[in-house]
Amino acid sequence: DVVYNHTAEGNEQGPSLSFRGIDNASYYRLVDGDWQHYYDTTGTGNSLLMRHPYVLQLIMDSLRYWVTEMHVDGFRFDLAATLARQFHEVDRLSAFFDLIQQDPVISRVKLIAEPWDVGEGGYQVGNFPQLWSEWNGMYRDAVRDFWRGEDNTLGEFASRLTGSSDLYQHSRRRPRASVNFVTAHDGFTLRDLVSYNDKHNDANGEGNRDGESHNRSWNCGAEGETDDPAVLELRGRQQRNFLATLLLSQGIPMLCHGDELGRTQRGNNNAYCQDNEISWIDWRLDDERRALLDFARRVIALRTEHPVLRRRRFFLGDTATREEQPLPDLVWLRPDAREMGDTDWQRPDAHTVGVFLNGDAIAEPDPCGRPVVDDSFLLLFNSHWEPADFRLPGAAYGERWTALVDTADPEGVPDEAEHKAGTVVTVEQRSMVLLSRPSRTAR
């Protein structure tokens, strides 16, 4: 995790520790016509001058050191939009990107951008060039809104679930350009996301003014710690919903360490200054936390085992199977098993959708050039506050389905394993079910 956008010297009132005393005007962006003040797009008081050769050389030397001497295999660039501000605007053709692209060492490692800063036009999700993956903030927002039951979220949720081709395909990037996440080191932990409506940052000493105030969180009926069984059950279910959605989405999943253990920061969403129990991980596992860890492990194993859950190319909606009853690589289904239409997507109160992932239509070669085939999957989502009955599609999709995951269960294990085509599967309120059937073309 590299921070090349600012230093600890702050604004004009900060300490002189290094670059300010060496050559202030060469290392920092200063306000035009007023060189006493700093042009700040990072929220820290200063921003480095990304068009100066000294600054660019400093960054490239640092990156090369980490790769050649320390053998790291990639970087996450903090507030990467600032690095692309050769002048005032974020520029995909900036000198920084050119140097990265042309460098024979750095261009070969993983490059992950936090694609925003606090300056004008700083939100740049989807706008980084080839070679780059991005923290997909639109994924985070869409998934949070869907699972807290917001209206007008289904279409956005569907786009993010399937790799965000609308953001990355235009620049000829693939699903791996989307680093999907629900939580990160900034903001609420997963447990706090389902336990607090508001931030509780008083311990940081800034009068609760620091940290993000609009978190798209929902406390499930009580703010903070509670012993209400119904609230606790719903919070556990919501954590499983978020974990399963993240790990079953196309793209690269980013899981914040501790979320699989139910870690809490007691509602503090800006705990960088807390070197105590607020930010530490409690490794002691009670039954609830162990069950969440086991659930995360099981869904991770499913993702690892099945290439259709981590495709290298975007879905096309094409009919690509090699059997007598061809099916597209992706089908969106209503609860009555009919295909979703335009009016279904436009309904503001739509909170349910089924997704068919065709493992026989991956259309990608393996390292030996052989076609990749896999089991096929049905994902049934219900973010509504009432149960939903999903009718399984006809035998053309699969005659028998095996239920693998049900987030309504405290351990994520379905009550009933086998289901025939055309039968009804009840998806409980605020939960999802994953089903599979074997490949028809695997040899």
Task: Dump pLDDT digits (tens) for 3-30.
Answer: 999 999 999 999 999 999 999 999 999 9
Helix, strand, or coil here: 140? Answer: helix
pLDDT digits (tens, 9 = 90+) for 168-177: 999 999 999 9
Do 269 and 188 belong to one domain?
yes
Structural domain contains residue 443:
no
Q: Could you say which DSSP state residue 259 is in?
A: G
Do 260 and 369 belong to one domain?
no
Q: Is 188's pLDDT higher than 90? A: yes
Structural domain contains residue 305:
no
pTM for the predicted model, two decimal places: 0.95
Structural domain contains residue 5:
no
Number of H helices, E strands in the chain: 11, 15
Do 157 and 279 belong to one domain?
yes
Do 236 and 381 belong to one domain?
no
CA–CA separation, 183 and 137 (whole Å): 10
User: Which H helix or E strand runs over 180?
Assistant: strand 178-180
Q: Is 196's pLDDT higher than 90? A: yes
Catalytic residue among 9, 40, 78, 134: 78
Do 106 and 235 belong to one domain?
yes
- Total domain count for the chain? 2
pLDDT for 416: 85
Instruction: Answer with the one of 249, 273, 299 that is the final residue of a domain.
Output: 299
Do 51 and 192 belong to one domain?
yes
Instruction: Answer with the one of 299, 330, 357 that is the final residue of a domain.
Output: 299
pLDDT digits (tens, 9 = 90+) for 285-318: 999 999 999 999 999 999 999 999 999 999 988 6
Do 113 and 205 belong to one domain?
yes
| Least trusted range by pLDDT, from 75-79, 105-109, 436-440 | 436-440
Backbone angles phi, psi at 417, to 5 degrees: -85, -45
CA–CA separation, 15 and 11 (whole Å): 9
pLDDT digits (tens, 9 = 90+) for 411-433: 999 988 999 999 999 999 999 99
Q: How many CB atoms lie within 10 A of CB 51?
A: 15
Are the C-beta atoms of 311 and 259 separated by less than 8 Å?
no
- Considering the chain, what percentage of its residues have pLDDT values greater than 70? 98
Do 271 and 353 belong to one domain?
no
Structural domain contains residue 66:
yes
Structural domain contains residue 164:
yes
Average pLDDT over residues 313-340: 83
Structural domain contains residue 247:
yes
pLDDT for 443: 59
415 is catalytic: no
| Least trusted range by pLDDT, from 149-153, 273-277, 367-371, 400-404 | 367-371
pLDDT digits (tens, 9 = 90+) for 364-416: 888 888 889 999 999 999 999 999 999 999 999 999 999 999 999 999 999 88
78 is catalytic: yes
pLDDT for 323: 57
pLDDT for 322: 55
Q: How many CB atoms lie within 10 A of CB 64?
A: 14
CA atoms within 13 A on the CB side of 236: 21
Do 237 and 339 belong to one domain?
no
The CATH number of residue 428's host domain is: 2.60.40.1180
Do 281 and 320 belong to one domain?
no
Do 251 and 358 belong to one domain?
no
pLDDT for 321: 52
The CATH number of residue 24's host domain is: 3.20.20.80
CA angle 308, 314, 316 (to 5 degrees): 100
Which amino acid, residue 432? M
Q: Is 325's pLDDT higher than 90? A: no
Helix, strand, or coil here: 305? Answer: helix
Catalytic residue among 114, 260, 374, 406: 114
User: Domain limits at 342?
Assistant: 316-437
Structural domain contains residue 248:
yes
Q: Is 262 exposed, middle or buried (0-12, 13-18, 19+ CB in 10 A)?
A: buried
Do 189 and 273 belong to one domain?
yes
Structural domain contains residue 195:
yes
Instruction: Answer with the one of 229, 264, 299 that is the final residue of a domain.
Output: 299
